[in-house]
């Protein structure tokens, strides 16, 4: 009978449809991967490498100072402050000496002791804010220059913590 549907489980049609769908997915994946590879190579050709950064005069001077100078790292200094009574300060700093000059450990220890005495007599109000930090650094540089007889050119403060 021509009008009757086929009797069977119908798995023949479903298997063919699944295989066609799977084949279409594989083909589309390969086309997408090939297109991505092609576009990636074309874009990679057009992108120029980043230019070398141009150093300013200040950066050149800093590089020259760093290459010619010696740096002495001091041990961290921890002490209480003059006011208020419960305030503590911890500072980590380094001494930059003139080109060709090397600080002896005894001079570095004397400078560290001078820093300790200065910090012990300072108050939080003196070092508060940007101007206070700048004044602190200038005072430390002056003390280091005096103690080292001009060998120290700069003091680098790497960390400063004040607890109240």
Q: Which CATH number does the domain 57-163 belong to among 3.30.479.30, 3.50.50.60, 3.30.210.10, 1.10.3720.10?
A: 3.30.479.30
| Domain extents in the chain | 10-48, 57-163
pLDDT along the chain (164 residues), means of 10: 56 72 93 90 73 69 64 93 92 90 91 96 93 95 94 93 92
**Residue 18: per-residue pLDDT:** 86
The Cα–Cα gap between 157 and 69 comes to 17
Q: Mind giving me the DSSP string for 110-143?
A: HHHHHHHHHHHT-BHHHH-HHHHHHHHHHHHHHH
The Cα–Cα gap between 14 and 54 comes to 67
Token pair listed for 24: 């279409």
The structure's pTM equals: 0.60
**Residue 42: per-residue pLDDT:** 82
Distances (CA, A) of 73 to 104, 125, 157: 12, 27, 10
């Amino acid at each position: 009978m021509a009008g009757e549907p086929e009797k069977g489980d119908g798995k023949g049609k479903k298997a063919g449809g699944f295989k066609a769908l799977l084949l279409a997915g594989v083909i589309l994946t390969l086309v997408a991967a090939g297109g991505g590879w092609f576009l990636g190579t074309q874009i990679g050709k057009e992108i120029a490498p980043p230019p070398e950064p141009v150093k300013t005069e200040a950066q050149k001077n800093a590089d020259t100072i760093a290459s010619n100078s010696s740096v002495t790292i001091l041990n961290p200094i921890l002490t209480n402050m003059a006011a208020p009574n419960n305030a503590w300060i911890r500072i980590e700093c380094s001494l930059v000496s003139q080109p060709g000059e090397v600080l002896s450990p005894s001079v570095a220890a004397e400078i560290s002791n001078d820093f300790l005495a200065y910090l012990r007599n300072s108050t939080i109000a003196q070092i508060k804010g940007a101007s206070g930090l700048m004044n602190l650094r200038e005072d430390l540089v002056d003390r280091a220059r005096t103690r080292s007889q001009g060998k120290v050119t700069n003091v680098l403060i790497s960390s400063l913590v004040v607890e109240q």
